[in-house]
A and B are shown apart, each in its own frame.
Chain A
């Protein structure tokens, strides 16, 4: 994999400017001034909290760390470190009681295969975190800021209505490798930048092991495939194995449903989001 072309570059100064303004303007234009986001101890949320603090002022941002009792203890420590670095107050919500209750309510969780149990438990935890964040957003009258990056969105590597849920997302057009570059630029604590990315849904999980490829490799491919629209022939000539290109292309396609609102059966003259078409920023 080391023979792959490099992942996309990132003009960090320009990106900082655009993303900070994005958060400020898209929050303020609807009469809000505060935001809430989940802080996992990973690099994506550590980047978003830095951007959010610059956009709204740290005092207008609420970070929420939501460990489960099996989460790695280092995750909470790193979440605290990044909240402190960004100058943002942190609330810690132990989701163990609600997650255990949800697991218990799904009484077949133990009967399914190990992989299936992990998936379902992971989704439940992710969605309970979403429930917690949206509750806090109502409490502080703020928006939920998203922390899904472009690599995850394209690969469908996230939970629908879970970690993928947000009001606005500043990093959804940045590949993971660009997230790393911008994080370094904004001074995200080094131990967060250096930590192997993980959803921390079970012990020892790392993204790259679970996905089966490195972020640098898949970012290099996705950037060429999605942004630069290179052909399969060109990608192979550039050193991407055909089966890798095919596997990733298929994965992107199969996960399109996660990136779109639900389908609506059209029976009327104008159908929401189909031919009843207005910007979300309509009237602001």
Chain B
């Protein structure tokens, strides 16, 4: 694996597809000039985030012209971008498209739709139903869209499938100025989350967050790349559009996994067995406390 990743920390306009599409082209031009192998855009990069009833109005099928326009550009470099996808049966998904060599290689439909606090994705979107990695020519990548990354099971499933990098595309609202912490509490939480997953799953983590405001809520940027040792090695600003470049290579993956062979020693079969028991008879397990699972 030797991949120059480019995170496009952009400010999408809310519900203005043509301008956002033009912006994607401009960002891809910059990526190309930088010699990037892969361009990563934030969650819902083609549409903006707090869509509410616009969700259905900006939705497109995967064969729509704007989608295909971007897919065509993946002849030069791999591209991951966010959109509202409408399926043939009129369900709407918060999707990340991964395109390579002029074709759609993979579509990840966001599984975990936050529907609490300021979020109302469960009201508008259907959820995806799995985590399958992308077999890119630059490596094996696990796509996680924002809330997906808050559920360790998402990263764990990618880990078991041997991904080289988790690509987290994010639209995270700024919250938390009432402490003496040096950064927003949402930023601090995401740094911890990204570094922890890189450490536990021994992968690169590429986090692409957006910037800008929608209805008074700021998105805090700070897109980042974390090494397989769990250290943030590159981080963008919190308030500017920025192209963040970082080379992802095999060597740290190899060294991290030799030093602590977590994937080798994982026990997916035990997890499967216990999960099956839990799902079949959760009360029995709870009441017994220490169930004998062997």
Check if A9 is an interface residue, CB within 8 A of chain B.
yes
Cα distance A227–B117 in the bound complex, in angstroms: 11
Q: Is the Cβ of A227 less than 8 Å from the Cβ of B178? A: yes
Chain A's nearest CB lies how many Å from the CB of B150? 19
Q: Which of A10-18, A44-52, A88-96, A155-163 contacts B (4 or more CB under 8 A)?
A: A10-18
**By the criterion CB–CB under 8 Å, are A279 and B213 in contact?**
no
Question: Given contacts A279-B50, A279-B214, A281-B215, is CB(A21)–CB(B239) below 8 Å?
Answer: yes
| A281 CA to B13 CA, complexed, in Å | 9
Contact check, B177 vs A22: say whether CB atoms are below 8 A apart. no
Q: How far is the CA of A178 from the CA of B177 in the complex (A)?
A: 10
Q: Which residues of A contact B15 (CB under 8 A)?
A: 282-283
B174 within 8 A of partner (CB): yes
Residue pair B178, A26 in contact (C-beta under 8 Å) = no
Point out the residues of chain A lying under 8 angstroms from B54, CB to CB. Answer: 278-279, 282
**Smallest Cβ distance from A140 to chain B, in angstroms?**
23
Stretch from B180-188, B197-205, B251-259 that touches the partner:
B180-188
Contact B14 A223 (CB under 8 A): no
Q: Are the CB atoms of B215 and A280 closer together than 8 Å?
A: yes
**By the criterion CB–CB under 8 Å, are A276 and B213 in contact?**
no
> Which of A8, A25, A178, A278 contacts B52, CB < 8 Å?
A278
- A276-B53 in contact given A22-B216, A283-B15, A283-B16 (Cβ < 8 Å): yes
Query: With an 8 A cutoff between CB atoms, is A284 at the interface?
Result: yes
Of all chain A residues, the one with the shortest Cβ separation from B220 is A18
List CB contacts (< 8 Å) of B203-252 with chain A.
212-216, 218, 238-239
Residue of B177, B214, B215, B238 most packed against chain A (CB within 10 A): B177
Say what secondary structure dominates the interface of chain B: loop
Does B179 sit at the interface, judged by CB under 8 A? yes
Contacts of B218 in A (CB 8 A): 18, 21-22
Q: Is the CB of B14 within 8 A of A281?
A: yes
List the A side residues contacting B180 at CB < 8 Å.
9, 11
Contact among B14, B174, B183 for A284, CB-based, below 8 A: B14
Whether the Cβ atoms of B14 and A15 lie closer than 8 Å is no
CB of A168 within 8 Å of the partner chain: yes
Please indicate the chain A residues that have their CB under 8 angstroms from the CB of B179 in the complex: 9, 11
Is there an interface contact between A277 and B239, defined as CB atoms closer than 8 Å? no
For A284, what are the chain B residues with a Cβ–Cβ distance below 8 Å?
13-14, 16
Among B50, B178, B181, B183, max chain A CB count under 10 A is at B178
Chain B residues, Cβ within 8 Å of A227: 178
- Measured CA separation A227–B52 after assembly (Å): 24
Q: Which residues of B contact A8 (CB under 8 A)?
A: 178
Picked from A10, A18, A25, A277, the residue with its CB within 8 Å of the CB of B174 is A18
The 10 closest A-B pairs by CB, nearest first: A277-B52, A8-B178, A279-B215, A279-B50, A25-B213, A11-B177, A15-B177, A277-B53, A14-B177, A281-B215
21 contacts between A and B (CB under 8 A): A8-B178, A9-B178, A11-B178, A11-B180, A14-B184, A17-B239, A18-B177, A21-B218, A22-B216, A25-B212, A25-B213, A26-B213, A29-B213, A276-B53, A277-B52, A278-B53, A279-B52, A279-B215, A281-B213, A284-B13, A284-B14
